[in-house]
Amino acid sequence: MLQSNPVTWFEIYVDDLTRARDFYHSVFHYEFTHIPFNGDFEAYLFQGSMPAVGALGALMRHPLRGPSAQGSIVYFHCDGCDEICHRALEQGGHIFKAKTNIGKDGFIALIGDSEGNVIGVHSWV
């Protein structure tokens, strides 16, 4: 059996789903599936499947939760932190921590998305 990391689901809270979807699509080239719920909240689901190794998640508009730079940070895998930082800036995002070497575990950067969340990116180069 393939070993899995402990997180299986994440939600990134947003105020404007369309703006957030466009940001993540432009920066990471991710595709999404719109999920309307009971009218109180809605989401754009990142492509993926369950069960699978790694976490699946969604951009979520929810009346009880909002975007925050103070909460947990989700790190997205990428081929290169510099390229993602560049695309984030082009889409109105912010760079909080430029590409940083973390030794044998590769590189990370921290960026701000279109909604005010801080997200991380991780690459091996």
Give the confidence band of 2 by pLDDT, cuts at 50, 70, 90.
Answer: low
CB 60 within 8 A of CB 11: yes
CATH architecture of the domain 9-123 equals Roll (3.10)
Sign of the CA dihedral with 28 first, then 18, 117, and 23 last: positive
Q: Flag whether pLDDT at 25 surpasses 80.
A: yes
**pLDDT per residue as tens digits for the range 78-102:** 999 999 999 999 999 999 999 999 9
* pLDDT for the residue numbered 38: 75
